[in-house]
Every structure is written in C-alpha cells, then in structure tokens.
Structure 1
Amino acid sequence: MRLHRNLCFAVIDGLIQIFNEGEYADKVVQKLLKRDKRWGSRDRGFVAETTYEIVRWKRLYAEIANVKEPFSRDDAWRLFAVWATLKGIKLPDWKYFENTPTRKIKGRFDELSKIRKFRESVPDWMDDLGLQELGESKWTKELAAQNQQADVILRVNTLKTNKKDLQLKLQSEDIETEFLPDHPSALRLIERANVFKTEAFKNGWFEVQDASSQLVADFLDVKPGMKVIDTCAGAGGKTLHLASLMENKGQIIAMDIYESKLKKLKVRARRNGAHNIDMRVIDSTKPIKKLYNKADRVLIDAPCSGLGVLRRNPDAKWKLEPEFIDNIKQTQQEVLQQYSKMLKPGGKMVYATCSVLPSENRKQVDNFLASELGKEFTFVKDNNVFAHKSGFDGFYMALLEREK
C-alpha cells in the first residue's frame, strides 16, 4: 500500500479532534469524508478505517510510541507511524517519519502484547471492572471480540418488502449480502459498502441495525393491534422494527428525553412507511403518568455503559469514566421503577442494554423484582449476548410479565 499525503493529513486532523478536543469519532469521520469530492471509495475507506483503527488501539500505540496526551501533531504522526509499521506498510520519505525506529516498534509490540490491558488497548479501570464482573476467561475473549471491526448488518423492512427481494435489489446495485441463521430479518454485507446511497435505502426497504439489536423487538412478543410503548426510543431503530412486526396495526408510543432524536425518528418512519408511531418528549413526569396501566407491551432500552458495542464505538473506551457507570446504574433502576408503571396488568415488558456487565443487566432486573413495585412482576426469561460467542454486538434483554 502506498500512503498519500492528503489522506494521511485527514487522519491526523481527525485524531487531534477526537483525542484532544473530545469530539465523537463517528461525527469526525463523517466530516473528514466530505473534505475532498475527488476521493473515491478506496480513499474514503482508508480515511475512515485508519482513523477508527488508531482510535481503537490508542493506548497500545501511545505506549509503543512513548507519547502522552494531549497529543501534539508530531505525537499523532508517531501514532500513525506505529499503525503503519505494524500493518507492514512502507513509510515514505516524509519529515514526519524521520528516525522512526521500525524494529523497536515491533519488539515493543511483542512485549506489550503479553499484557491484556495493552494488548486489547483499554484503560486500567475498565480492565479491572470487566475482570471483576465477568472473570478472566470470559472478559479476555469478550475484549478481543470487541476489538474486531463490526460487520454491516441490515434489517429488512417487512412493511415494504421481504428479505429475498431486498437481497436481489441490492445485488442489482452491486452489493452482495447473505442471510443470517437465527435472525429472521437480517442480511449481512459480504463486503463493506455505502448502503445509504442505494435506491433500496431511499425507498425505505431496510435499516442498518446490528443482529443483536434486532433480537430485542422480537423478544417483546408484540402482536398487530397492541398498544406498545418504547420508553427510550432515541432515533428509533427498535421502534421501526416493532412497527414492522405489528404490520402498522395498533399504536406505538415512542418516548425520549431528547426531542432532536425523535425528529430523526420522524424522518425514518416516513421513509419506512411506518404510520402507527406517536412521538412524545419526556420533558416532565406528566407524559409518563398519563400512560400508567395503559400499555400491552413496554420496551425499556435503558441508557448504559455501551460496553457491548465498543467495536463500533471505539472512542467510548477513552470517553467513559468509572463515575459514569456508577451513575448510569442508578438511572437504570429509576427508569425501571418509573416506566414499568405504564404496563397494564397481564402485559409484558423488556429491559434491554447494550452492555455485557451483569451489574447493569441481570442484577438490575433482580433489584427491580425485589422492590415493592417489582413484586407485581414475574421474570420470564433473559438473553445474554456476548460478541465473542455471537460475532455481533454484546447485548442483554430480560422479559418480565406483570401479574393480572
């Protein structure tokens, strides 16, 4: 591979924004890709993937390069040189790469690869927490899986088409996909591609949604005609899945504390042809109280640490703080206590997170069931999805039933 200056400069600029200015990697990469209209798909792929790679392995590369944050531009070039050397890419004769100790980099990599927190490039506190909650074997495997690049998974919108027709349509646009066993609505891209430019996407035939995330709506066991509340809907990936499972019949109330996210859901719902969704901003306790005992089904896709989705959000490793995890556990219990009141007697509720930590998952469910309000609920089943077993995101979902 030959390195091109303008592409490398884009990566360096991106790293400075992500590491020093605290910007989110996905937003930075989106901006970088608009930088030069002449870039082809290979150029854009290089900028996106290299930026994500260096973000993912920041701790390991910084240790090898012997640089500390905040990184100067020279430090960022040193991180880049480590990445290129370990990839076996020949460094060009540019001033940024003068005196790069290629042999020393490889030796240092071999040394540090024996220590998990460096090998998997995570902060000490995160490594300690994962070890404490999951044990040596499971945490080691899960961390390794969370450092693999995530596949692109699509969910067919059955309000408009079926899986086979979507596959053929994408094929006509030079995008090859395959079916996934045990995921009835999923297609996996065989090679990465910009699916958002396809006619199939513009026509609302699919959404991009990881295979593990697709399990959640199925777990809620919805039927056409029901009244369903998605309490932490966000931009609505699971809401739209629920709409297709309900065949546009009945009512889905999508709630969130952020109006901006619900506006995105409105646009997506229009494209999907989903007509049974009402959106409500949670700006006080009033919208929740109005719905007490009204819903046949309630989905609580709770705010969480996101430790199950690090492979698609590698910068979260560096943005998360131990205090955040302590606080989020309190929030999880509060939303369980508050939002569960919207469920009718005899109704079903799913509590879900994209975390792999038992303290955010089964332990929260057990704490809820042991509470005064939780005594009205029965635990039905749960599903712990680990990236190292499934090959997809880490997720948790528990199904509870309210007694009649």
Structure 2
Amino acid sequence: MRLHRNLVFATADALAEIFNEGAYADKVIEKTLKRDKRWGARDRSFIAETTYDIVRWKRLYAEIAEVKEPFSRENLFRLFTVWATLRGIKLPDWPQFENTPTRRIKGKFDSLSKIRKYRESIPDWLDEKGKKELGEQLWEKEIAALNKQAPVVIRANTLKISVAELQQKLQKEEIETKRIKNYPEALELVERSNIFRTEAFKNGFFEVQDASSQLVAHFLEVEPGMRVVDTCAGAGGKTLHLAALMQNKGQIIATDIYGNKLKELKRRARRAGAHNIDPRTIDSTKVIKKLYGTADRVLIDAPCSGLGVLSRNPDAKWKLQPEFLESLRNTQFEILEKYSRILKPGGKMVYATCSVLPSENKEQVDRFLNSENGKDFKLSKDKTILSSETGYDGFYMALLEKDS
C-alpha cells in the first residue's frame, strides 16, 4: 500500500479532534470525508478505517509509542507509525517517519499482547467491570469480539419491498448481500460500500440497522391497529421497524427528550412511507403523564453504556466513566418506573439496551419487578445477545406483561 500525504494528514487531523477535543468519531469522520471532493471511495475508506482503527487501539498504540494524552502533532504521527508498522505498511521517506524503530514496535506489541487491558485496548476500570459482571472467560471472549469491525447490516423496509426484491435491486447496483438466518428482514453486505448513494436507499427500500437491533421490534409482539409508544425513540430505527410490522395500521407515538432527533425521524419516516408515526418531544412531564394507561405496547430502548456496540463506536471506550455508569443505572430505573405507567392493563412492554452488563439489564428488570410500580408486571421472557456468539451487536431485551 502506498501512503498519500493528504490522506495521512487528514487522518492525523481527525485523530486530534477525537482524542484532544473529545469530539465524536463518527461526526469527525463524516466532516473529514467532505474536505476534498477529489477523493474517491478508496481514499475515503482509508481515512475512515484508519481513524477508527487507531481510535480502537489507542491504549495499546500509545503504550507502544510511549506517548501520553493530549497528543501533540508529532505524537499523533507516532501512533500512525505504530499502526502502519503492525500492518506491514512501508512508511514513506517523510520527516514524520524518520528513524522508525520497527523491531522495537513489534517487540513491544508481542509483550503487551499478553496483558488483556493492552491487548484489547481498554481502560483499567472497564476491564475490571467486565470481568466482575461477566466472569473472566466470557469477558475475554466478548471484549475481543467487540474490538472487531462491525459488519454492515440493513433492514428491508417491508412497507415498500420484499427482502428478495431488495437483494435483486442492490445486485443491479453492484452491491452483493447475503441473507442472515433467523433475522427475517436483514441483509448483510458482502463488502463495505457507500449504500447511501444507491437508488434503493433514496427510494426508502431499506434502513441501516444492526441485526441484533432488528430483533427488538419483533420482541414487542406488535399487531396492526395497536397503539404503541416508543418512549426513547431517538432518530427512530426501531420506530420505523415497528411501523413496518404494523403495516402502517394503528398508531406509534414516538417520544424523545431531543427534538432534533425526532426531526430526523420525521424525515426518515417520509422516505420509508411510514404514515402511522406521531413524534412528540418530551419538553415537560405532561407529555408522558397524558399517555398513562393508554398503550397496548410500550418500548423502552433505554439510554445505556453502549458497551454492546463498541465495534461500531470504539471511541465510547474512552468517553465512558465509572461514575457515569452509576448515574446511568439510576436513570434507567427511573425511566422504567415512569414509562411503565403508559401501559394499559393486559399490555406488553419491552425494556432493551445495547449493553452486555447484567447491572444494566436483568438486574434492572428484577429491581423494577420488586418495586411498587412493578408489582403488577411479570417477566414473560428475556434475551441476552452477545457479540462473541453472533458477530453482531451486544444487546439485551426483556418482555414484561402487565396484569389485566
């Protein structure tokens, strides 16, 4: 591989923003890729994948390069040097790469790879937390799986097209996909490509949604004509799936505290042809209180640590703090207590997170069931999805039923 100066410098700039300014990797990369219109697909892919790689392995590479945060420009190039050396990429004769200690880099990599917190490039506290909650062996497997690049999975929008038809249409646009067993509307891309430029996307025939996330709407057991409340709807990935499963019949009230996310949901719903969605911003306690006792189904896709989606958001490892995790658990419980009141007697509710930690998952459900508001509920079924077992995101979902 031949390295191009403008691509390497763009990568260094992106890393400076992510590491030194705390910016979100996906937003930085999106902005960086717009810098030069002459860049082709291969150039963009180099910047995106190299940046994500160095973010993912920050702790390991910084230890090998013997550099500390905040990273100077020179030290960012040292991280890049480690990345290139470990991939066997020949470094060009630039001043930034003078006197690269190739043998020393490889030697340090070999010795540090024997220690999990360096090998998997995670903070000490997170390593301890994972080990404590999942046990040594399972945590070892799970964190290794979460450090792999996530596959690109899409969900066929059955309001407009069947899975088989979508597969054919994408093939005509030179995008090969494969079906995934036990995921009815899912297709996985055989090779990564910019699918947002396809006619199929513009026509609203699919949404990008991880396979594990696609199980949540099915878990809620919705039917056409029902009144459903999606309480933490965000930009609406699961809301749109619910609309498709309900065949546009009935009503989905999509609430969120962030109005800008609901604006995005409206835009996506128009493209998807989903007409039964009613977005409502939670700008006061009245919004939720008005809904008490009115819904056949409630989805609580709760805010969580996001540990199950580290493969697609590797910078979350460095942004998460133990004290945030503590306050998050209180938020999750409050949301469960409050939003569970939206359900009618005899209704069903799903509590879901994209975390693999039992303290955010089953333990929260048990805590709710033992609370005053939870005494009328019973756990019907729950499911823990591990990345190490499926190759997709880590997820948890619990179906709770309210007494008639």
TM-score when normalising by structure 2: 1.00
Whether 1:145 and 2:153 are equivalent positions in the alignment is no
For 2:393 and 2:303, how far apart are their aligned partners in 1? 16
2:49 partner letter: E
**Matched residue, 2:111:** 111
User: Within 1, Cα distance between the matches of 2:91 and 2:195?
Assistant: 33
CA-atom RMSD in angstroms: 0.4
Name the residue aligned to 1:396. Answer: 396
Percent identical pairs in the alignment equals 71
Within a 5 Å distance, the mapping from 1:345-356 to structure 2 comes to 345-356=345-356
Tell me, yes or no, if structure 1 residue 159 matches structure 2 residue 149. Answer: no
- 1:191-214 residue CA offsets vs partner (Å, 9 max, x unmatched): 000000000000000000000000
* Secondary structure in 1 matching 2:380: strand
Shift of 1:35: 1.0
Q: Which residue is equivalent to 2:220?
A: 220
**Structure 1 match to 2:202:** 202
**Partner in structure 2 of residue 30 of structure 1:** 30
Please state if 1:41 is matched with 2:41: yes
1:26-75 Cα deviation digits (max 9, x unpaired): 00000111111111111110000000000000000000000000000000
CA distance in 1 between partners of 2:146 and 2:195 (Å): 23
Residues in 2 aligned to 1:352 and 1:212: alpha-carbon distance in whole angstroms:
11
- Give me the whole-angstrom Cα distance separating, in 2, the residues matched to 1:321 and 1:18: 16
Task: Report the secondary structure of 1:228's partner residue.
Answer: strand
Which SS does the other structure have where 1:332 is aligned? helix
1:11 aligns with 2:11: yes
2:305 alignment partner in structure 1: 305
- 2:188 matched residue in structure 1: 188
Tell me which amino acid in the other structure corresponds to 1:357: L
For 1:175, the aligned partner's letter is: I
Offset, 1:302: 0.1
Which amino acid letter does the alignment assign opposite residue 31 of structure 1? K
- The amino acid that maps onto 1:23 is A
Determine the structure 1 residue equivalent to 2:176.
Answer: 176
Structure 2 residue aligned with 1:131: 131
- What is the identity, as a one-letter code, of the residue corresponding to 1:303? P
Q: Displacement, 1:186?
A: 0.1
User: Match for 1:67: what amino acid?
Assistant: V
Moved over 6 A (4+): none
Measure, in 2, the Cα distance between the counterparts of 1:33 and 1:289: 44
> Quick check: 51-60 or 283-292, which moved more?
283-292
* 1:79 alignment counterpart: 79
Q: Distance in 2 between matches of 1:4 and 1:131?
A: 41
- Residue by residue over 1:62-91, the C-alpha shift from the partner in whole angstroms, topping out at 9 and shown as x without a partner, is 000000000000000000000000000011
TM-superposed CA distance for 1:119, in Å, is: 0.1
Q: Residue in 1 aligned with 2:245?
A: 245
| 1:322-365 CA-partner distances (Å, limit 9, x unpaired) | 11100100000000000000000000000000000000000000
Structure 1 residue ranges without an equivalent (≥5):
none
AA in 2 matched with 1:160: K
Q: What is the distance in 2 between the residues matched to 1:335 and 1:40? A: 45
Q: 1:255: Cα distance to partner?
A: 0.2
Q: Give the Å deviation of 1:100.
A: 1.1
1:156 positional shift: 0.3
Q: Which amino acid aligns with 2:155?
A: R
Post-superposition Cα deviations, 1:208-230, rounded to whole Å, max 9, x if no partner, equal: 00000000000000000000000
Cα distance in 1 for partners of 2:283, 2:322 equals: 28
- SS of corresponding position for 1:252: strand
* Residue 57 (structure 1) aligns with: 57
Q: Secondary structure at the match of 1:175?
A: coil
2:101 aligns with 101
Partner residue, 1:236: 236
Q: Distance in 2 between matches of 1:325 and 1:123?
A: 14
Structure 1 CA distance for aligned equivalents of residues 69 and 157 of structure 2:
44
Deviation digits for residues 141-175 of structure 1, max 9, x if unmatched?
A: 00000000000000000000000000000001000
User: Whole-Å Cα distance in 1 between the matches of residues 333 and 31 of structure 2?
Assistant: 37
Residue 298 of structure 1, CA deviation: 0.1
The DSSP-based 3-state class of the residue aligned with 2:9 is helix
The answer to whether the aligner puts 1:291 opposite 2:306 as a matched pair is: no
CA distance in 2, matches of 1:9, 1:287: 48
Amino acid at match of 1:33: L
Q: Distance in 2 between matches of 1:246 and 1:377?
A: 24
**Counterpart Cα distance in 2 of 1:306 and 1:326:** 14
Q: Residue 154 of structure 2 aligns to which amino acid in structure 1? A: L
Distance in 1 separating the partners of 2:302 and 2:170: 33
The CA distance in 2 between the partners of 1:278 and 1:175, in whole Å, is 34
Amino acid at match of 2:194: N
| Cα distance in 2 between the residues matched to 1:52 and 1:279 | 33
Greater Cα shift, 76-85 or 284-293: 284-293
Q: Distance in 2 between matches of 1:247 and 1:79?
A: 50
Other structure's SS at 1:318 match = helix
Structure-2 separation of matches of 1:31 and 1:402: 46
- Structure 2: gaps spanning 5 or more residues: none
2:308 counterpart SS class: coil
Q: CA deviation at 1:284?
A: 1.4
